[in-house]
Structure 1
Amino acid sequence: MRSYRSMGPTHIATNVTTVDCHKQVRTWRLLRTIMELLIPTCNCTFVHTTDDHPSSTTTNHPKPTTSSTSFSSSSSFLTGTIFGYKKGKVKFCIQSNSTSPNPILLLELAVPTTILAREMRSGLLRIALECSSEQTNSLLEMPVWKMYCNGKRVGFAVKRKPSKTDMEVLRRMKSVVVGAGIVSGKEIGCQEDDILYLRGNFERIRGSSDAQSFHLIDPDGNINQDLSIFFLRSR
């Protein structure tokens, strides 16, 4: 079992009180969706009542309910790169492989490179990206996402069209399948700053049209980083 499947509780929102029913219901839905994505090897049935409250679920003695949600998932493997200027914000790029000239997705994340590097020092990083159900685009085509980093709300992630600099950075890393390092700013025409990167193989799990996740594969422990990124559309 890969390392990313062993994790502590993931909290999407904080300071939820017993009287804040709307936030509690939405948080439970997000947590349930993340758990579905983290258990891709079986068909799981999550039983709930129409109010979708945590107290409605049970594992030992199921009660009659008015609805149920059946879940199954599929997975594939892609190349993922997290990179950014030392003094700038981080970007997350997904490609079909390390040499592909056309990224499947490029997101500018809400956090600066230095802040994300600090979050990654523990070896565990969970990023949850949430969009609204009002949008009808396919999930990865959504333009703006609420972003949570290790359980903390940190702003918004935005889908970007790769710039010339982005494409040059990716071109210089095309021989890197797995690894971390620095691309000299001088080599790409930036005299003031260097670019840090982390690249590896990611398992992409499609839970549903409203939920996907990307999990860094580190079978040999070379990267020493447990990293998962969740894309969720709230209902």
Structure 2
Amino acid sequence: MRESKPQPLTLPPASPRRSTNLDTKSSSPMANAESPPTISLQPASNKKGPSKSRKLFHRFRAVFRSFPIITPSCKIPVSLHNGGRIGEGHIHGGIRMTGTLFGNRRARVSLAIQESPKCLPILVIELGIPTGKLLQDMGAGFVRVALECEKKPGDKTKIIDEPIWMLYCNGKKSGYGVRREATEDDLSVMQVLQAISMGAGVIPNDGGEKPDGEVMYMRAQFERVIGSKDSETYYMLNPDGNNGPELSLFFVRV
């Protein structure tokens, strides 16, 4: 009997893969993530240094300080407002900034510093003072807040980048000041107040049932004066030199 040879097995040509619904779906977790809240605030300009006019001013001031002090025999009376600041003038050679004090009435007050109301905060500090207490003291007159931290040899950290300070309000120790990153609640407050350059009021909470949920705020223009790497001051400016509340913030490294 004749033995037959096995025939080679031939497979049919592979059909092209059909695209399915699974192929078109993205496996990235960002596809299902919720979109962040809409914040239209712009980032800060991150200026690298003072302008030429500011450099010229500082050079002139340094030369002027080298002259001897001469007391004139005839004293001319000069009217100064706001603790030596004439209205909204810049006799300190400072930079105009926007400062906002805000928080719940019984909670600790927060301070946000912006280049303008439309910019993201460059500095947010939580102060160890209840919001209602600080605003009440400001309504009574002048408030001086000093934030002190320890000087460390060889430390090149900017003074406003320090994480924590000892807090003194009108010479009385009042806890600490703690720097923090801007939270979503902070940015929401800045977004609501975007169209306000200065003023004070209350932002109601969503439900409107709990009075403690209301956010009190006070916004004003501040003059930022950098004395040295270990000192920086923010003077609140009153419009037209009126007799409104006064606030000065001193950052000092000792």
Task: Give the aligned length.
Answer: 171
Q: Distance in 2 between matches of 1:187 and 1:211?
A: 43
Q: Partner residue of 2:187? A: 167
Write out aligned runs for 1:24-43 (5 A). 43=62
Residue of structure 1 aligned with 2:213, choices 170, 177, 193: 193
Q: Distance in 2 between matches of 1:92 and 1:224?
A: 19
User: What is the CA-CA distance between 1:226 and the residue it aligns to?
Assistant: 1.1
**What percentage of aligned pairs have identical amino acids?**
32
**Structure 2 stretches lacking a partner, 5+ long:** 1-57, 72-91
User: What is the CA-CA distance between 1:114 and the residue it aligns to?
Assistant: 2.1
Please list the CA deviations of residues 179-220 of structure 1 after superposition, one character each: whole Å capped at 9, or x if unmatched. Answer: 111111227998851011110111000101111100111132
User: What is the CA-CA distance between 1:138 and the residue it aligns to?
Assistant: 1.0
Runs of 4+ in 1 over 2 A off after TM superposition: 40-46, 187-192, 219-223
User: What is the CA-CA distance between 1:117 and the residue it aligns to?
Assistant: 2.2
Give the 3 Å change call, closer, same or farther, for CA 182–84 of structure 1 in structure 2. same
Structure of higher RCO (CA pairs closer than 8 Å, 6+ residues apart): 1
Bigger radius of gyration, 1 or 2? 2
Q: Distance in 2 between matches of 1:99 and 1:87?
A: 28
Q: Distance in 1 between matches of 2:243 and 2:209?
A: 29
Please say if 1:141 is aligned against 2:166: no
Structure with the larger strand share: 1
Q: Partner residue of 1:104? A: 122
Counterpart amino acid of 2:200? A
User: What is the CA-CA distance between 1:161 and the residue it aligns to?
Assistant: 1.0
Write out aligned runs for 1:68-217 (5 A). 74-100=93-119, 102-134=120-152, 135-186=155-206, 192-217=212-237
Give the 3 Å change call, closer, same or farther, for CA 136–215 of structure 1 in structure 2. same
SS at 1:186 equivalent: coil
Give the 3 Å change call, closer, same or farther, for CA 222–168 of structure 1 in structure 2. farther
**Which TM-score applies when normalising by structure 2?**
0.61
User: What is the CA-CA distance between 1:113 and the residue it aligns to?
Assistant: 1.1
Q: Distance in 2 between matches of 1:189 and 1:94?
A: 30
SS at 2:240 equivalent: coil
Q: Distance in 2 between matches of 1:42 and 1:229?
A: 23
Counterpart amino acid of 2:99? G
Give the 3 Å change call, closer, same or farther, for CA 96–183 of structure 1 in structure 2. same
Q: Distance in 2 between matches of 1:92 and 1:206?
A: 18
Asked whether the equivalents of residues 127 and 149 of structure 1 are also in contact (C-alpha less than 8 Å), the reply is yes
Q: Distance in 1 between matches of 2:217 and 2:242?
A: 15
**Which TM-score applies when normalising by structure 1?**
0.65
